[in-house]
Amino acid sequence: MTVLEWLVPVVSVLGAASSGVFALASLLLTRRMQRAEIQREISALYDRLMEVRLDHPEMLELGHTWTPGNLERVYRQRSAEDREWARYYTYVELCLGFCNAVLYARSKKLLSRDAYAGQYEPLVKLLLTEHCPILRDLLHSGGMYLSTQLKRLWHESQEHGWDWESRHTALVEAGTRRGR
């Protein structure tokens, strides 16, 4: 075997290996960029939630007093009170958008387990607990307006002992005691 005959396969293997290394580096860089972008998007959604909450502190109070008949009022909007319920519903949609972004990022492994468990899961559960009455209403009406991931989190949490109703009640009672 001549040097040239020996060199051709070696160069081919080295070329393929270097292409693989570059492809892997590119994949890792793309993944890192995706993680940074989703973090920015989630942070922007949360900042928007906090802006609305600061501008409209009554949203939490409305969340505690939601009843199934209020959904009709959201679409009817014949009175100032109906419009309040429409604003509340819009706020809940913003909350759900944040929750869905977090759950999507988690499902696509764009959030580390530590970031999800230590930061985002508690926030998602807090938001869902705060707005338990409307979410319960939406779930009981078939849940067709809720994401699959959100419904899965709701039901899996219940299966693992998380009682949305009692936690909502405890949250409201704690807030009421502080507000006195």
Amino acid, res. 108:
K
How does the average pLDDT of the chain come out, rounded?
87
Question: Taking 70 as the threshold, does the pLDDT of residue 11 lie above it?
Answer: no
The amino acid at 139: L
The H or E element containing residue 118 is none
Percentage of the chain exceeding pLDDT 70: 83
Read off the tokens for 174.
Answer: 């704690």
Identify the domain containing residue 123 by its residue range: 39-179
pLDDT for res 14: 62
Q: Specify if 111 maps to a domain.
A: yes
- Would 33 be classed as within a structural domain? no
| More confident site: 100 or 144 | 100
The reported pLDDT for the residue numbered 141 is 82
pLDDT tens digits for 80-92?
A: 999 999 999 999 9
Contact 34, 110 (CB under 8 A): yes
Model confidence pLDDT, tens digit, residues 106-130: 999 999 899 999 999 999 999 999 9
Structurally, how many domains does the chain consist of? 1
Q: How confident is the model at residue 33 (pLDDT cuts 50, 70, 90)?
A: confident
pLDDT greater than 70 at residue 180: no
What the block records as the tokens of 142 is 């078939």
CB distance 102 to 111 below 8 Å: yes
**5 pLDDT higher than 90:** no
At residue 66 the predicted structure's pLDDT band, cuts being 50, 70 and 90, is very high
171 domain residue, yes or no: yes
Domain assignment present for 67: yes
Considering the domain boundaries, does residue 22 fall inside one?
no
**Residue 18 in domain:** no
Considering the domain boundaries, does residue 6 fall inside one?
A: no
Give the integer Cα–Cα distance in Å for 91 and 55: 11
CA distances from 154 to 46, 151, 174 (A): 20, 5, 22
Q: Which tops the pLDDT comparison, 166 or 174?
A: 166
Residue 3 in domain:
no
Q: Please tell me the distance from the alpha carbon of residue 150 to that of residue 145, in angstroms, as a whole number.
A: 10
